[in-house]
Chains A and B, each alone.
Chain A
Amino acid sequence: MPGVGTKTPRLGMVIDLKRCYGCYACVTACKTENFTPPGVFWARVLKGETGEYPNTVRQALPVLCFQCEDPSCMTVCPTGATYQEDDGVVRVDRNKCIGCNYCKMACPYGARYMVEKWESYFPDGLPLSEYEEYAKNRWEEKSGVGVSTKCDFCFERRENGMEPACVRACPANARIFGDLDDPDSEPSILIRDNGGYVLNPEHGNKPKVYYLPTR
């Protein structure tokens, strides 16, 4: 599994739309791994419908930060808080971020989230449970309030030799993670052999999350 500290790979992901059935396991895994508060979806599943009855198809489209080669969020960042790791993953230095939201406006894929005030998932006014305290602390350690936040392909998991949580959780193996520079990696082969494509290439950001066609 390519990760932090190995020969510098160019990390990317393939999402096989034939396999995805929109169960939200990736979203749940992301939320429980990263303790993102309400309204923050570093991993998201969009759902849509095409065709007319009786030939109607419903399709799920999982999205996340596409870790672009040329990330416009990084270009517009006035403080250098947004940067790229050697492996191509786009991250945010929370100590440099001033919360200007330029990145949020610049990202054509809506992958940036700003949390102005941390909120509990249990809006009952009761004191936080120890787990909510833990979640709050973890969020503030990694991301915090008043700064821009985003998916970083589960940096901490990769540091420990694990795949991103969304990849691990997918029951249909619809997400395949790996080194796009390695022509023999599973994602490279899938992209090459199955017509992998990126969303909205016209933006010119060169996303590193590819999709395989629905059929």
Chain B
Amino acid sequence: MFPTSIYNAITIMDPKWFDMLEQFKIPYRPEIMINFGSNSVMTMGNAEVVTENFLKKFNFIFSFQLYITEFEDAVADIILPDTCYLERFTPAVSFPSTFSHPQGEDDWGWTVRQPVVQPLYERRDFNVVMLDICKRLGIAHKYYKGLNDTVPMRYGGPMSDKYKLKEDGSVDHTWEDICDRLLKDRFGDEHGLDYIKEKGVFTWPRKKEDVYWKWFNPVRVPVYFEYFIDGGEKISKLMKSYGVGEGHPLDLDWTRFKALADWYPCPSHIEEKNPPEFDMYTFYWRSVIHCNSLTQQNPLLDEMSHEDPYVYAIQMHKDTAKEKGIAEGDWVWIENTAGHRVKGWVALTDGIEPYHLAIAAVAGHWTDYQPIAKGKGTFFNDLVEMDKDHTDPLTLNQDICCRVKIYPV
């Protein structure tokens, strides 16, 4: 298994997932989905499975989006035009992410986004709209409480009473006020939004203890993960209490809950599960041009993608291609053992293991609303199966290792 995704397939991708809620006596059913700038039709796994088994089960979906994606095209009832990052305040850009922080001996920094231009057309910041909706529904106090509760969880340490949002309704907080309070709570009275508007960023010196932290922290790295055993026993007992025992389709492989790290082959590496014509592995990589997001609709990045010989191509070893009668630039189908297939053109290279295929980013958009991105690159995630077989029982993360065959279009 190569579980790398934060999404889990088993809990949401079964077409009868409402039955699963019934099984575990969960009293409510999700009815409304609010989407913020993501395109989960493309980012989770096989698009048809995600759409039919999961997204279409919601009665109502509204989505904040900068431009229409496959998600809005397929399932959104209402689209609310969002601002781009240059048009809004974001009080914590790179935190609590574990990346995008100053490295080495450089100063620590806290970056804040602020609008440098007014929003085009009638776009509105999703933060402002959500606040507005809560106020109109008369639940602003719940929104304030949610933020008050979230700040200590996400950023660490209690929030000062002085800067907590007033849950009693005595203050009508605006989004800018909320940003100001968060910054002052973290950095002191003098370092609110006015400070950041002038200075742009907070920096402070990094101590040697921060740089060489391993030396100063007497931490021990655990070798045995006993809590997996305890956790597995607890979960197993709980599931049995709901009638999910041995032989039930939802039962997990409890032998994996053990104290020592171990390796189990994923379906792609179990030979009897793969007919001989499925002789290739395909994997996904991120071009630096399109990291962390789906950015093929950005015309500058799209133009640069054409400059790079590999970003929109399926990379294949030249000798393997010759063996299969495939030439540079040929259009091919890549098909997995479940019969899901994706199309793309081949770039021959020596820079890849002979029986592997490399596909960049989550490309291959198909919606007419993204004319720049449409039809460019290959949609890798259509090859990712969303089922229990491809889900790691320990983490419920999804297996993205795909065994495939390749043949000309």
Q: Which A residues have a C-beta under 8 Å from some C-beta of B?
A: 21-24, 27-28, 31-32, 38-39, 41, 44-45, 47, 49, 51-54, 56, 58, 121-124, 129-131
Q: Which residue of B117, B120, B351, B353 has the most chain A CB atoms within 10 A of its CB atom?
A: B351
User: A27 contacts which chain B residues (CB < 8 A)?
Assistant: 304, 307
User: B131 contacts which chain A residues (CB < 8 A)?
Assistant: none
B350 touches A52 (CB 8 A): yes
B351 touches A45 (CB 8 A): no
B289 touches A24 (CB 8 A): yes
A56 touches B304 (CB 8 A): no
A24 touches B351 (CB 8 A): no
Q: Please, how many angstroms separate the alpha-carbon atoms of A129 and B304 in the complex?
A: 22
A23 touches B371 (CB 8 A): no
Q: Please, how many angstroms separate the alpha-carbon atoms of A32 and B298 in the complex?
A: 13
User: A32 contacts which chain B residues (CB < 8 A)?
Assistant: 300
Q: Would A31 and B300 be within 8 Å (CB), given that A23-B288, A47-B309 are in contact?
A: yes
A58 touches B351 (CB 8 A): yes
CB pairs A–B below 8 angstroms (11 shown): A21-B288, A23-B289, A28-B301, A32-B300, A41-B307, A44-B307, A47-B307, A58-B351, A121-B303, A122-B299, A130-B120
Q: Would A45 and B299 be within 8 Å (CB), given that A24-B288, A52-B350 are in contact?
A: no
Chain B contact residue count (CB 8 A cutoff): 22
A129 touches B350 (CB 8 A): no
With both chains docked as a complex, state the minimum distance between the C-beta of B114 and any C-beta of chain A, in angstroms. 18
B299 touches A53 (CB 8 A): no
B307 touches A24 (CB 8 A): yes
With both chains docked as a complex, state the minimum distance between the C-beta of A130 and any C-beta of chain B, in angstroms. 7
* Any A CB within 8 A of the CB of B210: no
Which listed residue (A22, A28, A39, A49) contacts B351, Cβ 8 A?
A: A49
Q: Please, how many angstroms separate the alpha-carbon atoms of A27 and B304 in the complex?
A: 8
Q: Please, how many angstroms separate the alpha-carbon atoms of A31 and B303 in the complex?
A: 11
B299 touches A49 (CB 8 A): no
Closest B residue to A120 by CB, please name it: B299
Kindly list 8 other residue pairs between chains A and B, CB separation below 8 angstroms, not including A27-B304, A129-B120: A21-B288, A23-B288, A28-B301, A39-B303, A45-B307, A47-B308, A49-B349, A124-B371
Q: Please, how many angstroms separate the alpha-carbon atoms of A124 and B301 in the complex?
A: 17
Q: Please, how many angstroms separate the alpha-carbon atoms of A23 and B307 in the complex?
A: 12
User: A51 contacts which chain B residues (CB < 8 A)?
Assistant: 350
B351 touches A56 (CB 8 A): yes
User: A21 contacts which chain B residues (CB < 8 A)?
Assistant: 288
With both chains docked as a complex, state the minimum distance between the C-beta of B311 and any C-beta of chain A, in angstroms. 10
* Any A CB within 8 A of the CB of B354: yes
* Any A CB within 8 A of the CB of B317: yes
* Any A CB within 8 A of the CB of B78: no
User: B350 contacts which chain A residues (CB < 8 A)?
Assistant: 49, 51-53, 56
A24 touches B304 (CB 8 A): yes
Closest B residue to A38 by CB, please name it: B303
User: B139 contacts which chain A residues (CB < 8 A)?
Assistant: none
B300 touches A56 (CB 8 A): no
* Any A CB within 8 A of the CB of B352: yes
User: B371 contacts which chain A residues (CB < 8 A)?
Assistant: 123-124
Q: Would A53 and B303 be within 8 Å (CB), given that A22-B288, A24-B288, A129-B120 are in contact?
A: no
User: B354 contacts which chain A residues (CB < 8 A)?
Assistant: 53
